Copies of this chain bind each other. A is one copy, B any other.
Amino acid sequence: MIVVMKLDAAEEEILAVEKRLKEAGLAGHLIRGVNRIVIGAVGDEREVIASLGLEIMPAVEKVVPIMKPFKLVSREARDEPTVVRVKEAIFGGDHLAIIAGPCAVESLEQVMKAAKYIKAAGGQVLRGGAYKPRTSPYAFQGMEEKGLEILKQAGNEYGLATVTEVIDEPSLELACDYVDMVQIGTRNMQNFRLLKAVGKVRKPVILKRGLSATIEEWLMAAEYIMSEGNDQVILCERGIRTFETYTRNTLDLSAIPVIKDLSHLPIIVDPSHATGSAKLVGSMSKGAIASGVDGLIIEVHPEPCKALCDGPQSLDPQQFTALMEELKRVANAVDRKLSNGLL
| Residues of chain A having any CB pair with chain B under 8 Å | 2, 4, 7, 29, 31-36, 38, 40, 42-43, 45-47, 50-53, 55-57, 64, 66-67, 69, 76, 133-140, 167-168, 187-188, 190-193, 196, 211-212, 214-217, 220, 223-224, 227, 240-247, 250-254, 256-258, 261-262, 274-275, 278-280, 282-284, 286-292, 304-312, 326, 329-330, 332-334
Contacts and interface: CB of A to CB of B under 8 A. Distances in A.
Given A33-B42, A56-B304, A133-B192, A254 B280 contact: yes
Nearest to A46: B136
A135 to B, nearest CB: 5
B306 A53 contact: yes
A283 B326 CA distance: 19
Contact of A290 (B187, B216, B286, B304): B286
A50 B258 contact: no
A278 to B, nearest CB: 6
A278 B191 contact: no
B76 A7 contact: yes
B246 A243 contact: no
19 contacts: A2-B2, A2-B66, A33-B42, A47-B139, A53-B304, A53-B306, A53-B311, A69-B135, A133-B192, A137-B192, A137-B220, A168-B193, A212-B241, A240-B242, A247-B254, A247-B258, A251-B253, A251-B254, A254-B284
Contacts of A33: 42-43
Nearest to A6: B76
A279 B261 contact: yes
Ranked nearest first, the 9 interchain pairs of A and B with the lowest CB-CB distance are A53-B305, A212-B212, A33-B42, A287-B291, A290-B290, A333-B333, A257-B283, A286-B290, A55-B312
